[in-house]
Chains A and B, each alone.
Chain A
Amino acid sequence: MSEYNKPLPPPTVESEPFWDGCKRHELVVPRCDACLNHWFPPTATCPKCWSTDWTWTGVSGKGKIYSFGVYHRAYHKGFADELPYALVVVELDEGPRLTTNVVGCKPDELSCDMPVEVVFDDVTEDRTLYKFKPVNDS
């Protein structure tokens, strides 16, 4: 097996529980105990009501594509073989938006508002990335 050659920035103290969730194949985001707002990326206070009481909460993993851009230029050698590839912004049903990739779909098949759901990609022994795939209508 060839070595994984894409960047994997190390988790921070604030993001570690999120990446631990990915490793368990669970998508978790902060949810405010006071106003029930979900947000991402994780921060110490709810950006909506500034409550410091919040809980890592599992979400449905379902959402839709807010927008996307298709790279035709490789800024990193790890992505050179994948051109053209799409950087996709997914809006979860719970509200937060995540930057990600969509698998099982070519860039020219993407469109805004397309329904997608989370899949997990165990890219190394230590790290699992959240990605999304199109939801079939059936």
Chain B
Amino acid sequence: MSTNLSGKYAIVGVGQSPLGKVPELGPIGLFAVAAKNAIEDAGLKKEDVDGLITRGPDDVYCHHQRVGEALGLNVTFSTSTANGGASQTMAVAMACMAIEAGVCNTVVVGYGRDTWSRTHRNAEAKQAVASSPRTYSEFGSEFGRFGAPVNYAVSARRHMERFGTTKAQLGAIAVAFRNHARKNPHAFMKKPLTLDEYLGARLIVDPLCLFDCSVFIDGAGAVVVTSAERARDLRQPPAYVRGFGFGNRLSGWYNDDNMINTGAKEAGEAAYKMAGIGPQDVDTAQIYDCFTHMVLLQLEDYGFCAKGEGGPFVGSGALEFDGVLPTNTSGGQLSEGHIEGMLQVLEGARQVRREHTPDRQVKDCNIAFVSGHGGNTVCQSALILGREAG
């Protein structure tokens, strides 16, 4: 029989590095700054940390060891994750499981990378982005299949033809998140964006245009997870971990109907069950937004609207700050910046801590739903944070 961990653990500290163009720091340095800020935010010390779960650029081997070395940490529990953008929400859950198992007490979870600098830091970096891809994969590269956008373009196309979803509806997602970013001083994209500008933007992989794609920045985010008992004595109001769940349709994005019905369904159902709530109880959602269309799919699969109705739902203004489901209230990866979902974990915690100024704070926020998505498009993790333990 399973033990329900709902409300037993909490995020007690959040921290981030400088975001945007930070060419003076590499991915490990960015992470270290975020971790330090998260530990300080919690009112804890380095010596209190006995767990570390990290993720960073895929080409950094044993990422957690590099981070641990930079922070001078000796811990009992430590690993790096490999579920792509689903890793960060999953790592918060893993921290709870590890503490429950008694292997550690206080865990730092985070993600950091220097994505902007990797392609802009110097002449060599600029050349790297201008040249052709360095890795090819069989059954795809021969036909011109490169980059991440195509995976979401084919899904969006199928969704459009099956359910009548429109470009303007995808545009409503981009516009809502930009509106939120404009109030976030740390967001990368703060220029106003209108639906007309969205519809006139250059296409990347049709039906996706420039504004359907998240923005690559330098940065890191980290949180500290510990027991609810310990949390009550710390500096910040705890963001209780009320639920989590996972769905990994490893059979493949291009198989069955996995690009329309995603593992978010299983992830959400498990998280709601654990928390004892439903989508109607969620005050704000922080939905993994590598691309606009992925937000739409997840809103359906997490039960905020029915399958096929994501277009009209987002088109109604639901995701705006004053909408029925204020979503990605810091601007999301489409406008705040792409840190593989880690900044959305931070924003979920900040919303239930109610620490924002009124123009950004979701009123009476009790429940924040946070999602992670990624790997090779098929991994989903869901996390429900609460102002109260239960």
Give chain A's interface residues, CB within 8 Å of chain B. Answer: 6-9, 11-12, 15, 40-41, 47, 66-73, 75-79, 82, 84-85, 87-89, 97-101, 107, 111-113, 129, 131
Contacts and interface: CB of A to CB of B under 8 A. Distances in A.
Contacts of A68: 154, 157
A35 B233 CA distance: 60
Interface residues of B, number: 34
Nearest to B204: A73
Contacts of B254: 66, 89, 97, 99
Contacts of A8: 142
12 contacts: A7-B141, A67-B154, A69-B150, A69-B153, A69-B208, A72-B203, A73-B203, A87-B150, A89-B154, A99-B139, A101-B143, A113-B161
A116 to B, nearest CB: 14
Given A47-B251, A76-B133, A71 B142 contact: no
Contacts of A107: 206
Contact of B150 (A66, A71, A77, A112): A71
Contact of A71 (B139, B144, B158, B251): B144
Contacts of B153: 69-70
A11 to B, nearest CB: 7
Given A7-B142, A67-B154, A112-B161, A72 B136 contact: no
Interface in B94-140: 132-133, 136-140
Nearest to B255: A97
B154 A41 contact: no
A7 B136 contact: yes
B22 interface: no
B158 A69 contact: no
Nearest to B135: A9
